[in-house]
Amino acid sequence: MIAAAPSRFCEEGPSAHTKRGRYVNNLSSCTADRRRGATVLLGILIAAVALVGALALPAERADAMEVVKCTGRPNSEDDPTIIMGATESRITFEASVAEGEGVSSLTLRLPEGTTFGTDDLAVTLLTGDDLMTRNEVDYTEKIDGQNLILDFAEPLTQEGHLNILVYDVFFPTDGGEMQLEATYELADGTEASIEGIPSIPVKGISFTESLSQWLEEQTWVQAWNNNRFLHLFLDPTLLVTSFPVVLTGFFMSISIVAVAFPLAIPMGLLLALMRISKLRLLRGIATTYVNIVRGTPLFLQIYVAFFGLPLAGIQIPNFVLGVTVMCMNSGAYMCEIFRAGILSISKGQTEAARSLGMNGAQTMFYVILPQMFRIVIPNLTSEFIVLYKDTSLLAAVGIMELVMYARTIVASTGSITPYIVAALFYLVITLPLSKVTRHLEDRVRGHRSRKHADAPELAAEKGASHE
């Protein structure tokens, strides 16, 4: 039996193998067909489930209103594209209305700090292919805090653009990006918000600008400006607005004086010592310099420095050059102040110092100069006032000091009010210093009087002591 099996297998030969291959191929083909059928069936089931789900879920409805624009009316006098805070403006809000939706109310929420009115409120529905047909809308308005609520008498069912104009709008003084919010309600009670509303950029204004706007609304200011003469010389609103601009020039003038005056003191003292020197050369140099500077106008000296040096190829920054010219001019006048102060000291002071063993330099720096400075302080204060006022001459060469800023505003406004503001800045410095100068002069004069009055008594005491 065992031996017969191989022979039987051998007898089947190739024909048996062919039958088995066909069977295997048929089996594989059937398996593939079954897999394809299962895949198709699975796809059909998925499609059916998706269809059922789509039919079961409610369809998403498009928004009944969508924003078209939200802008503010520019109100800047300097730039017609800028919206200023705390200045009357207007808001234009426009949103599209879908056909048949039935919008029954609309609520606009304005930014915090914004004030508005409803006296001139305008609400229209723009229709037509070109949206040029204006349809009046019957509505009632209500203000609830920052909310402007519009209730329509009949729901809006016609397709178009709802245009709303809000007048007498005053944005916050600080300015910023003003963001409006809007919600609407449909006839069926559904509420929704309008997304994507663009913000309105608003530029903040300063305190002086706000004060100027307040002054413009005052009756007495309007009556004042109606007078051409008064308006030309002193415009209250321009007086306020030009103040911060002219203030910048004031700081520039003070900066020039603050640097030039301390530098002029040692220069004047050196020239004074040269003028009283025993050396003829030093006296000649100092005398020539002082006579030339004091004998020519400061205005001419400024022109020579600012226009002559560039022609010679010497370029110096305007501020440095301005300080240098003012210092050299003031130094010549201080030279005469110091020289007069030195010569006012009695020779007895020098003799007393020499008797104590001091040389000429020690006598000058330890005895003469301390007494001299006490005497010339009032004159130095007056020289400071003169130097401060003379900085106005630098406006002729383009340095942006006090007068230059004022002149710029005058050229643009046609009113000389900025010059009045500049004069006030000068008086703020000069009047107190003038009072200080008179006080110092009185003290020096009183000291001298007491000194002379006490002289006989001192002499008598000395005589009595010798006896």
* Architecture of the domain defined by 65-205: Sandwich (2.60)
Task: Work out the percent of the chain whose per-residue pLDDT is above 90.
Answer: 63
pLDDT tens per residue, range 213-248? 889 889 999 999 999 899 898 999 999 999 999 999
Mean pLDDT across the stretch 47-63?
A: 53
Judged by DSSP in three states, 93 sits in strand
DSSP output for 183-247: EEEETTS-EEE---PPPEEEE---HHHHHHHHHHT-HHHHHHHHSHHHHHH--HHHHHHHHHHHH
- pLDDT band per the 50, 70, 90 thresholds, residue 461: very low
Check residues 321 and 448 and name the one with the higher pLDDT: 321
Looking at residue 24, its pLDDT comes to 45
| CATH code 1.10.3720.10 region(s) in the chain | 236-436
Phi/psi at 393 (5° precision): -70, -20
| pTM of full prediction above 0.75 | no
**What does CATH list as the number for 236-436?**
1.10.3720.10
**What is the location of CATH 2.60.40.740 in the chain?**
65-205
Which carries the bigger pLDDT value, residue 8 or residue 439? Answer: 439
pLDDT tens digits along 99-137: 988 999 999 999 999 999 999 899 999 999 889 899 999
User: In the predicted model, what is the mean pLDDT of the chain?
Assistant: 85
Residue 304 has pLDDT above 70, yes or no: yes
pLDDT higher than 90, residue 38 = no
Q: In the predicted model, what is the mean pLDDT of residues 37-58? A: 59
What is the DSSP track for 169-201? EE--TTEEEE--EEEEEETTS-EEE---PPPEE
To 10 degrees, what angle do helices 402-413 and 417-466 make? 160
Tell me what pLDDT residue 42 has. Answer: 64
| Segment 370-405, tens digit of pLDDT | 999 989 999 999 999 999 999 999 999 989 899 999
pLDDT in tens, 11-29: 444 444 444 455 445 545 5
